Copies of this chain bind each other. A is one copy, B any other.
Amino acid sequence: MIPLPRGFRFAGVSCGIKSRANAKDVTLIISDQPCVAAGVYTTNQIVAAPVVISRSRTPSDRIRGIVVNSGNANACTGTRGHSDAIEMTRLAAQAVSHQTPLSDDQFVVMSTGVIGRFLPMEKVRDGIQRAAIALGSTESHFLDACDGIMTTDAFRKIAYRTAYCGMGEHTLVGMCKGAGMIGPKMATMLAIVVTDVPLEPLDAQRILQAAANRSFNCISVEGHMSTNDSLVLLAKTPSEEEPALNEMDQAIFAADLTELCIELAKKIPDDGEGATHLIEIRIQGSNNDADADAIARSIALSNLVKTAITGGDPNWGRIVSAAGYAGVPISPSRTALKINEIPIFDKGEPLPFDAKVVSQSIKSQKLTLIELQVGLGPGTAVHWTTDLNAEYVRFNSEYTT
């Protein structure tokens, strides 16, 4: 049973943007009261229209909801795409206005799917109207909303936590979609976290950015930074009855949010298109955390490392050499490597190890653990990525045609 924060309603419906019959492709998440929204977005210069709109509207404490479509990214679509993204928020505002009319700028918008095609706005209009009618606050409504943001995902990506902070027990629930075009920075395609924790908008933004840096910014599938990556947090607007969290409670909430984001983020490479391994890369001993991050990223993005893991091949020179071209200092003579906790390389020299044992340990489990010590300082980082196999290639050769 997924716990849901009070005051939010969810819907996911099918309107025919995706070609597969009855595939859900519009999601609506509504806050019954004006709420706080914070957002972290792609840093790609080629940025989709919905990102431009949402980025200009967050952080805020007067947001009423998020409208999402999947199956079409509304990216590289020029001025018409920009109008269409605004129109989506206008349609959402109209569809859920009852007593008081809502304004389009009280909505955040997200799109995901193929780049460079105009949105079929008649279908989108129909979808948003039907989503507004379908809104509800049960687990099944939440799952429909998860389905509406998915593209090539093989499974739903959901995580939740209870946070003990402020006036008592609070709920955090998150969904994300991933699969392809993930990483190297801000690797989510789309992620939404909803909580009933009361936060000031700027605190929400700061805490969300920090959580993203430890989670969605530490994953990759193939290192292609998307035009549409968006992570949005909805939280309660503080009130007299329920004031904003104080600093200590914010720290508790931040820890819970970071954990939740890591749990969500890891599901993305775990579901990398056709991936058979989730690879966890732990770097220690660089001059600082940013350097460790660069080394982890260089290893995570190496097709040669990824294909070696696919084949259960302890071809560890590929790992060490990827660290060597990361563009930050390492100490080759103090570098040490373990694969699945088996020491492979130390002080610049290969260690005697049983290649069959290492190979078997890679082949027999979904997770492969790479631990690299680079011998300089206190810097650490953890990244997660997928292996690379023929299924990924087949999949991505055939995506649009």
Question: Which residue numbers of A lie inside 8 Å of B, CB to CB?
Answer: 43-47, 73, 75-80, 114-118, 180-181, 185, 222-227, 301-305, 307-308, 310-318, 320-325, 329-330, 332-333, 335, 345, 347-350, 355, 359, 388-390, 392-394, 396-401
Contact = CB atoms under 8 A, between A and B. Distances in A.
B78 A347 contact: yes
A355 B116 CA distance: 12
A257 B318 CA distance: 32
B303 A396 contact: yes
A116 B43 CA distance: 38
Contacts of A226: 321
Contact of A313 (B223, B312, B323, B398): B398
B397 A317 contact: no
Contacts of A335: 46
A111 to B, nearest CB: 12
Nearest to A374: B45
A320 B359 contact: no
B223 A46 contact: no
Contact of A325 (B225, B310, B389, B399): B225
Given A350-B76, A355-B401, A397-B313, A321 B224 contact: yes
B349 A77 contact: yes
Given A321-B115, A322-B224, A400 B75 contact: no
B227 A307 contact: no
B77 A350 contact: yes
B317 A115 contact: yes
A324 B47 contact: yes
A320 B48 CA distance: 12
Contacts of A347: 78
A342 to B, nearest CB: 14
Each complex incorporates copies of this chain amounting to: 2
A307 B396 contact: yes
A388 B322 CA distance: 19
B77 A320 contact: no
A308 B222 CA distance: 13
Contacts of A47: 324, 332
Contact of A393 (B222, B348, B390): B390
A79 B350 CA distance: 11
Contacts of A304: 180-181, 222, 224, 396
A55 B46 CA distance: 41
Contact of A45 (B181, B311, B332, B350): B332
Given A307-B393, A308-B397, A320 B115 contact: yes
* 6 nearest A-B pairs in the assembled complex, by CB-CB distance: A115-B317, A311-B397, A46-B324, A78-B349, A390-B390, A307-B396
A172 B323 CA distance: 36
A27 to B, nearest CB: 22
A321 B78 contact: no
B394 A321 contact: no
Nearest to A181: B304
B76 A320 contact: yes
Given A47-B332, A76-B348, A118-B350, 13 more contacts: A46-B335, A75-B317, A75-B321, A181-B321, A185-B325, A225-B325, A226-B321, A227-B321, A303-B396, A308-B399, A310-B397, A313-B399, A388-B393
A308 B347 CA distance: 42
A359 B401 contact: yes
A47 B318 CA distance: 12
A237 B330 CA distance: 39
A398 B355 CA distance: 13
Q: Which of A311, A316, A321, A332 has the most CB of B within 10 A?
A: A321
Contacts of A321: 44, 46, 75-76, 115, 181, 224-227
